A = this chain, B = another copy of it.
């Protein structure tokens, strides 16, 4: 008999996750944006205003969350991770630089991965999970997660429930995110780098996410919400987040859980799928190449 990753009587679980990318969200596209003062302050709004505001909401509503930090951000603001950890939330690994693993060599990815671990170690924080910058994992990412003793990854999209990913260094739990539960597509806008088009209203996003949560209750899914403090920390969006959490709390069959706890439960749940990773073999001439 297997134990279930969902608590008894629960139809879906909500993982509230916040990617505190700050400046790395832009610098990982090109270091030249460091010269853009407005853009840098736009990103700094995340740790400066967004994080405390979101912590306030989580405290008001008494829900746990998981905060993913690029090592660079944690290093640059020495008290930031501690501030979040002391509020009782989980801290997780979001690469060092936020540069997509898919654009690094294997050695570069490993170095970036290790360097973030060093930062967290120096700050005395225990880390259980990892998420690739831009979710752009490479085919070795899950293996790194296993090799360095972490429990879970949250970058791959092969399911909307947790699943097991075997690697050469052991199995990890995957907690799949998805673009549709991310605030980036809805809210992000900058002229340089050129990001976004129209900006959506929080009420649309709230409606969409409540509908998604209801649908996931039918399918017993993991509602993996990914928000960015520099985006969702803005007043109207923060209010929509508050309403979303309140809605979830009003559903008796929905539970709010940290990524770590879901991963620990999923680790023990043999009924979840096992999905090996393998890069597709591409026959020459079938697809165009640049």
Contacts and interface: CB of A to CB of B under 8 A. Distances in A.
A91 interface: no
A247 interface: no
A206 to B, nearest CB: 10
A214 interface: yes
A174 to B, nearest CB: 9
A159 B45 contact: yes
A31 B180 contact: no
Contacts of A59: none
Interface string A175-219: 010111000011101111000111111111001100110111011
B199 A203 contact: no
Most chain-B CB neighbours within 10 Å: which of A28, A34, A53, A158?
A: A158
Interface stretch (A82-90, A129-137, A249-257): A129-137
B211 A201 contact: yes
Nearest to A217: B235
A27 interface: yes
Contact of A192 (B42, B96, B99, B136): B136
Contact of A30 (B99, B136, B289): B289
A287 B27 contact: yes
A197 B180 contact: no
A265 interface: no
Nearest to A233: B160
B287 A53 contact: no
A277 to B, nearest CB: 6
Interface stretch (A1-9, A61-69, A278-286): A278-286
A37 B102 contact: yes
Contacts of A100: 191-192
A190 B189 CA distance: 16
Interface string A12-56: 000000000001100111111011111111101100110001000
A105 to B, nearest CB: 11
A134 B289 contact: no
A227 interface: no
B179 A199 contact: yes
Contacts of A185: 189, 196-199
Contact of A38 (B49, B132, B286): B132
In the A-B complex, the 8 residue pairs with the smallest Cβ-Cβ separation, listed nearest first, are A201-B208, A215-B235, A212-B236, A31-B287, A41-B158, A215-B239, A42-B157, A215-B236
Interface of A: 23-24, 27-32, 34-42, 44-45, 48-49, 53, 72, 76, 96-97, 99-100, 102-103, 132, 134-139, 141-142, 155-160, 176, 178-180, 185-187, 189-192, 196-204, 207-208, 211-212, 214-216, 218-219, 221, 234-236, 238-239, 275, 277, 279-280, 282, 286-290
